Structures are given as C-alpha cells and as structure tokens.
Amino acid sequence: RTAVGCLLELAFKVAAGELKNGFAIIRPPGHHAEESTAMGFCFFNSVAISAKLLQQRLSMGRIL
C-alpha cells in the first residue's frame, strides 16, 4: 500500500506540473500481480493502479 501511495503521489504531481518528471524506486513493483491475484511479492500492480486513476480522475487517455 505504501508503494502504491508513493507512486500515486508522484504520478499526480507530474501530471499536475508540480514536478517535471519522476522515478519511483518502490517495492513491490507490481509486475507479477495480476488483475485480481497477488503473485510473488507483488500484492498490487502499482503501475496499473496509477494509470487507471490518472485516466479516471484527470480524464487522461493513453498513458505511456
């Protein structure tokens, strides 16, 4: 939860223009987690959660 929260804060600050860019060094990275299943040390797919919230809250389309 802390890793997801850190990434969300970073993503929203970059999207709002408060920061020019950012790099999150967090654990778990989320690359093993599936949509509804935790795998390995990845309980949440922090990248997918951040992208989805940026799309929903800021009406963003595609996210790289």
- 39-61 per-position pLDDT tens digit: 777 778 888 889 999 999 998 88
Query: Look-up: residue for tokens 């093993």?
Result: 32
1 falls in which pLDDT band (50, 70, 90)? confident
The pTM of the full predicted model, rounded to 2 decimals, is 0.76
Q: Which residues are catalytic?
A: 32
- 2-43 per-position pLDDT tens digit: 888 999 999 999 999 999 999 998 876 666 777 778 777 777
CA–CA dist 58, 53 (Å, integer): 8
CA–CA dist 54, 10 (Å, integer): 11
The confidence score (pLDDT) of residue 28 equals 64
